[in-house]
Amino acid sequence: MIPALEILYDSELSPSLPLPSELARLYGGLNFPPHAGRPYVISNFVSSLDGVVSLDAPGKAIGDVISGSNEQDSMIMGLLRAAADVVMVGAGSLRASPQHVWTPAHIYPPYADAYKVLRDRMGKQPSPLNVIVTARGNVDLSLPVFQSGKVPVLIVTTAEGERRIRKMDIPKSVQIIAGSDAGSLTARRILNAIVSISPSCETILIEGGPHLVGDFFAERCLDELFLTLSPQVAGRESSIERLGIVAEKIFAPEHPLWGRLISVRRGESHLFLRYGFETAGTL
């Protein structure tokens, strides 16, 4: 049994989601505010002390290397997946974790039953919709997320990407939608594509990567960031690309994005931070 997180600060005053007792013991209360006009969008990252979220090293790009395989971090990842209708990743995150399936039970099996109880209490489908975002359509449909049948999958791509994927053998559990006729995808087009497939979607969890999250920040479509601060220094050098939370977007000094601290939790030397951000309107 992993130890409960120490709550250092929590501004969350709303009634909690109907967490099973074991999840409530570990995390405390969790809720997301009512949100009219579009789904509530959250993201979850683990970062080193020097701001690295992804290592440019074959087979070592996943968050476990940054977190030190911290069980409390994995438990929170499972909790957020359990509370979400959709878990979204970019094609780069898929390539970095090719054997992954974005379900609560996959990330932290010891609490699979508790995650299932939470989803049942919230009236959600057994597994969140896995959304893969790829502009070019360069995905391997033989990977477990597409072939296992454990999750429904939506690939959001461009018209060119859709043409490329349609030439492949597409599993029955996979849907494809072209969110753009251009060569790139915007955050709002991605959201519109998801809502067109899943109109009752309330909460979307983005698990990477930095390019995708950067687009959502840039369009003011990201409501909250859950950030695990891991007590390691990863380091950087000019020959190795080690990304932070946001890639290919510049905000400060002209247009900095300021977050509002919602909560701080501690598990030994790891800090679990939650920030809210101002967003722009409906879809």
Distances (CA, A) of 266 to 9, 27, 189: 10, 10, 37
- Confidence class of residue 25 from pLDDT cuts 50, 70 and 90? very high
Q: Does residue 258 fall inside a structural domain?
A: yes
Quick check: 167 pLDDT over 80? yes
- Confidence class of residue 35 from pLDDT cuts 50, 70 and 90? confident
Q: What gap in Å lies between CA 277 and CA 259, rounded to an integer?
A: 5
- Confidence class of residue 6 from pLDDT cuts 50, 70 and 90? very high
Q: Which residue has the tokens 């974790």?
A: 97
pLDDT reported for residue 179: 84
At residue 115's C-alpha, the angle toward residues 112 and 118, to 5°, is: 155
Q: Does residue 25 fall inside a structural domain?
A: no
Whether the ω angle into residue 209 lies within 30 degrees of 0, i.e. cis, is yes
Q: Does residue 82 fall inside a structural domain?
A: yes
Return the H-helix or E-strand segment holding 158. strand 153-158
86 phi/psi in degrees, rounded to 5: -135, 140
Q: Does residue 153 fall inside a structural domain?
A: yes
Q: Does residue 52 fall inside a structural domain?
A: yes
Instruction: Look at residue 90 and give its three-state secondary structure.
Output: strand
pLDDT reported for residue 33: 87
Q: Are strands 129-133 and 260-267 parallel, antiparallel or unpaired?
A: unpaired
Tens digits of residue pLDDT in 110-160? 999 999 999 999 999 999 999 999 999 999 999 999 999 889 999 999 999
Count of other CB atoms within 10 angstroms of residue 282: 10
pLDDT reported for residue 14: 76
Number of compact structural domains in the chain: 1
Q: Are 46 and 53 in contact (CB under 8 A)?
A: yes
Residue 100 is part of which domain span? 37-232+240-276
Quick check: 4 pLDDT over 70? yes
CATH no. for residue 54?
3.40.430.10
Tens digits of residue pLDDT in 250-275? 999 999 999 999 999 999 999 999 99
pLDDT reported for residue 238: 85
Quick check: 175 pLDDT over 60? yes
Q: Are 50 and 246 in contact (CB under 8 A)?
A: no
pTM of the predicted protein model: 0.95
Quick check: 84 pLDDT over 60? yes
- Confidence class of residue 59 from pLDDT cuts 50, 70 and 90? low
- Specify the length of the chain in residues: 283
At residue 174's C-alpha, the angle toward residues 126 and 224, to 5°, is: 60
Q: Does residue 17 fall inside a structural domain?
A: no
Q: Does residue 29 fall inside a structural domain?
A: no
DSSP state, residue 243 = B
Name beta bridge partners: 6.
266
pLDDT reported for residue 55: 81
Q: Does residue 67 fall inside a structural domain?
A: yes
